[in-house]
């Protein structure tokens, strides 16, 4: 069994380091996929990721894990894979929106956000583009953080959130499992609780 981890916007593959170490100790070949939203648009990242998934699929069973924007990229890439290529055995969305992000919409007029997030930031705030990705035809677990800060009430009101995305923004609209954890968005990739939850749901521990 292999696992591919995709980080969130503004992060790097290193954000997964503690989780990667846990997976390797469990006998799972853990790999990462990196990208930079300031240098690549959404579609070009998805094309690279689709090729990566198809290469991994040729080697045997695999699962995929995406944090925040990483989960959005994975959903788009899975739907773009050739029909005869095996899909992942499981998709794990970690604090990953499936609906437009209110925070991204709020920051749409911020020049710094636009300069850094560029096309991917625009996608996260777009109703049409987020809806266009569609449901994913693989078993899915959405791990949603509910340890948001009080200062984020201006964006989320009383809705549970992880400080960046809300519960409602992360609830998949296709058959899925949903797990709520009292973990903040930024620390989810390194969270022991998140790693253990994923490990418990992987079909086999054989590498």
Contact status, residue 37 vs residue 69, Cβ threshold 8 Å: yes
Q: How far apart are CA 166 and CA 145, in angstroms?
A: 8
Q: Dihedral (C-alpha) 174, 133, 171, 157: value to the nearest 10 degrees?
A: -150
Q: What angle do CA 43, 45, 49 make, to 5 degrees?
A: 115
Mean pLDDT for the stretch of residues 171-188:
93
Q: Is the pLDDT of residue 84 over 70?
A: yes
CB 119 within 8 A of CB 41: yes
Position 41 in a domain: yes
Would you say residue 100 lies in a domain? Answer: yes
pLDDT tens profile 101-154: 999 988 888 889 889 999 999 999 999 999 999 899 999 999 999 987 665 667
The predicted structure's pLDDT at residue 206: 43
SS3 of the chain: helix, strand, coil, percent, to 5: 45, 15, 40
**Across all residues in the chain, what is the average pLDDT?**
93
CA dihedral over 76, 81, 83, 84, signed as positive or negative = negative
SS3 131: helix
Q: Which tens digits make up the pLDDT trace of 27-60? A: 999 999 999 999 999 999 999 999 999 999 999 9
Provide mean pLDDT across the span 147-169: 82
pLDDT-based confidence at residue 207 (cuts at 50, 70, 90): very low
- pLDDT at position 109 is 85
Asked whether the beta carbons of 28 and 4 are under 8 A apart, the reply is no
What pLDDT, on a 0 to 100 scale, did the predictor assign at position 175? Answer: 82
* Structural domain of 97: 2-201
Is 134 domain-assigned?
A: yes
Q: Residue 206 domain-assigned? A: no
If DSSP codes are grouped into helix, strand and coil, which group holds residue 36? coil
Min mean pLDDT across 62-71, 84-93, 148-157 is at 148-157
Give the closest residue to 202 by CA, choosing from 48, 54, 64: 64
| Residue 122 belongs to some domain of the structure | yes
Q: 157, exposed or middle or buried, with CB in 10 Å at 0-12, 13-18, 19+?
A: exposed
Residue 99 banded pLDDT, cuts 50, 70, 90: very high
Per the structure, the count of domains in the chain is 1
List the CATH number of the domain containing 114: 3.40.50.1820
135 occurs within a structural domain: yes
Asked whether residue 207 is domain-assigned, the answer is no
Radius of gyration of the chain (CA): 16
Interval 183-205: pLDDT, tens: 999 999 999 999 999 999 997 65
Whole-number pLDDT of residue 153: 65
* Token reading at 148: 């948001």
Contact 149, 179 (CB under 8 A): no
- Domain contains 116: yes
């Amino acid at each position: 069994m292999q696992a591919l981890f995709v980080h969130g916007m503004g992060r790097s593959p290193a954000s997964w380091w503690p989780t990667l170490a846990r997976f390797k100790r469990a006998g799972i070949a853990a790999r990462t996929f990196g990208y930079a939203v300031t240098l690549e648009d959404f579609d070009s990242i998805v094309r690279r990721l689709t090729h990566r998934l198809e290469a991994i699929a040729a080697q045997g069973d695999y699962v995929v894990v995406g944090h925040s924007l990483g989960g959005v990229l994975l959903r788009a890439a899975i739907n773009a894979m050739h029909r005869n290529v095996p899909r992942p055995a499981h998709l794990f969305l970690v604090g990953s929106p499936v609906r437009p992000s209110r925070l991204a919409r709020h920051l749409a007029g911020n020049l710094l956000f636009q300069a850094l997030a560029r096309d991917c930031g625009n996608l996260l705030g777009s109703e049409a583009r987020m809806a266009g990705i569609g449901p994913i035809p693989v078993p899915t677990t959405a791990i949603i953080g509910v340890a948001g800060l009080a200062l984020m009430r201006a964006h989320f009101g009383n809705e549970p959130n992880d400080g960046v995305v809300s519960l409602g923004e992360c609830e998949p609209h296709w058959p899925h499992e949903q797990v709520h954890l009292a973990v903040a968005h930024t620390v989810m990739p390194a969270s022991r609780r998140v790693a253990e939850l994923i490990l418990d749901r992987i079909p086999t521990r054989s590498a």
